[in-house]
Amino acid sequence: MKKYIITGLLIICIILALDSNARSAYFVTAIRSDTTTFVNGRRVVLLSYNINGSRYMKIRDLAYTLSGTSKQFSVGWSGAQNAILLTSGKPYKAVGGEMSRSGEATGMARISLAKVLLDGNEVSVYVYNYKGENYYRLRDIGRIIDFNVGWDSSINAVIIDTSKRSTDKDASPNPFIARIRNIDPSKPMVALTFDDGPGAQTNAILDILERHNAKATFFVLGNRVSANNRTISRAYNMGCEIAGHAWSHRELTALPESRIRSEIHDTNRAITSATGAAPTLLRPPYGSVNSRVRSVSQSLGVPIITWSIDTRDWSNRNANTIYNNVMRNVRNKDIILLHDTYSATTNAISRIVPDLISRGYQLVTVSELMYFSGMTPDPGAVYFRAR
Ligand code: ZN
């Protein structure tokens, strides 16, 4: 039985979810699995994504599975109305693509409210679009067709009962953009971080990261954001994390509270307009923190991230030294300080990235590192590493 519970590939993914006004961002997991599902006691296996605790499935898989029950429905498409058409009570005609297993869970995805017409009436259903495939939230389908959806944790199975009514409420109107990543939380991971950019080296560093499908975190200066919007968008769209390093690189501990606030807030606003996502972390210049910096960070909702390995690239400017400072000291869950402003750093990175990967490290963003380490960073608190 056990091997049927989750067959095939189980992919742990991570999603950066944004609320609609982009003031805060939070991480959730998306797990793609072949999911044991009992429909009126009959066992089937359906491909699903578990996103933030909700199951998302293909509408045709569900229609196929419910065929012949009292809650069967047909599925059509109206190009003119740009809507999926469901007709309750009608048998579903299979098209041959049901119960498919496809898609690698990487890249950008979007969760939105789909336009669905049920017997001609518009209903709201969450849909997760990934590489052209749509996955509908199972509880929303249960709610509109009116069948009961449950979960049996003792056998890790979805339970659909068409003889019982749905107990689910309307979908809350809070669509979000999802970022999907393959990360194995049981394997080692580190976060490369680059401060003071975007700078002359940022694109060369992104080229290296891209070549190895690695991600990093860029703590950017607010006063450099608008001139480098394209570079920041590129990094963000590659799956890198963009966070603030204050506006002007002044040491925040020397500033009054109002100025600390504007240094952080203005930077975060500039990043939000460049990427569409509000940053969720702060790295103060020089790593300098005092009680004022902590309390402003707390009120702005950002945890403070420093580092566990300083490559000292800012002082040695030597690729071999930078390389050795990383490779001789690195441990699981480290946060590594670098700068995307020195060519020596780029040269070092061209060896560090493949060599860390060949040692078994996953190169993740700081937020991914925290999330997969089971840490929920508190705004205003200081984190050196994720262990
Ligand atoms: Zn700096």
pLDDT category at 101 given cuts 50, 70, 90 is low
- Give the Å distance between the CA of 197 and the centre of ligand 1: 9
- Give the Å distance between the CA of 305 and the centre of ligand 1: 12
Rounded Cα–Cα distance for residues 19 and 4 (Å): 36
DSSP labels for 342-373? -HHHHHHHHHHHHHHHHTT-EE--HHHHHHHT
pLDDT category at 114 given cuts 50, 70, 90 is confident
- Give the Å distance between the CA of 124 and the centre of ligand 1: 46
- Give the Å distance between the CA of 136 and the centre of ligand 1: 44
DSSP state of 171: P
- Give the Å distance between the CA of 220 and the centre of ligand 1: 9
Most confident region among 9-23, 149-163, 181-195 by mean pLDDT: 149-163
Residues 348 and 373 reside in one and the same domain: yes
- Give the Å distance between the CA of 309 and the centre of ligand 1: 15
* Annotated catalytic residue within 34, 61, 140, 195: 195
Does the active-site annotation cover 339? yes
If one counts the domains in the chain, the total is 2
- Is residue 19 over pLDDT 50? no
pLDDT 10s digits, 282-301: 999 999 999 999 999 999 99
pLDDT 10s digits, 204-226: 999 999 999 899 999 999 999 99
Domain termination site, one of 178, 204, 221: 178
DSSP state of 321: H
Residues 110 and 236 reside in one and the same domain: no
Residues 145 and 41 reside in one and the same domain: yes
pLDDT category at 237 given cuts 50, 70, 90 is confident
Residues 237 and 345 reside in one and the same domain: yes
Q: Where are the beta strands (DSSP E) in the chain?
A: 6-18, 25-39, 42-51, 54-57, 73-78, 83-88, 107-118, 121-130, 133-137, 148-152, 157-161, 176-180, 189-195, 217-220, 241-244, 304-305, 309-310, 335-339, 362-363, 382-383
Contacts of 74 (CB under 8 A, 6+ apart): 63, 86, 87, 90, 91, 92, 93
Residues 305 and 336 reside in one and the same domain: yes
Residues 104 and 245 reside in one and the same domain: no
Residues 240 and 213 reside in one and the same domain: yes
Rounded Cα–Cα distance for residues 190 and 230 (Å): 26
Return the pLDDT at 180. Answer: 59
Does the active-site annotation cover 195? yes
- Is residue 263 over pLDDT 90? yes
149 and 142 in contact (C-beta within 8 Å)?
yes
The more confident residue out of 19 and 355 is 355
Residues 159 and 198 reside in one and the same domain: no
Contacts of 41 (CB under 8 A, 6+ apart): none
CATH number at residue 379: 3.20.20.370
Q: Of the ranges 147-156, 226-235, 333-342, 367-376, which one carries the lowest mean pLDDT score?
A: 367-376
The whole domain housing 6 covers: 2-178
- Is residue 353 over pLDDT 60? yes
Rounded Cα–Cα distance for residues 77 and 82 (Å): 8
Amino acid at the residue 31 = I
What's the predicted TM-score (pTM) here? 0.65
SS3 assignment, position 93:
coil
Q: What is the mean pLDDT of the chain?
A: 86
- Give the Å distance between the CA of 289 and the centre of ligand 1: 13
Look at residues 158, 144, 140, 152 and name the one whose alpha carbon lies nearest to residue 45. Answer: 158
Domain termination site, one of 154, 178, 202: 178
Residues 154 and 130 reside in one and the same domain: yes
Residues 74 and 198 reside in one and the same domain: no
The more confident residue out of 9 and 311 is 311
Return the pLDDT at 82. Answer: 86
Residues 68 and 101 reside in one and the same domain: yes
- Give the Å distance between the CA of 198 and the centre of ligand 1: 11
Residues 348 and 289 reside in one and the same domain: yes
pLDDT 10s digits, 325-343: 999 999 999 999 999 999 9
Rounded Cα–Cα distance for residues 66 and 6 (Å): 21
- Give the Å distance between the CA of 246 and the centre of ligand 1: 9
* Annotated catalytic residue within 34, 313, 339, 340: 339
- Give the Å distance between the CA of 331 and the centre of ligand 1: 23
Return the pLDDT at 27. Answer: 42
Average pLDDT over residues 186-190: 92
Tell me how far the alpha carbon of residue 102 is from its chain's centroid: 20
The more confident residue out of 255 and 276 is 255
User: Residue 181 phi/psi, 5° resolution?
Assistant: -135, 145
Domain termination site, one of 139, 162, 178: 178
- Give the Å distance between the CA of 345 and the centre of ligand 1: 14
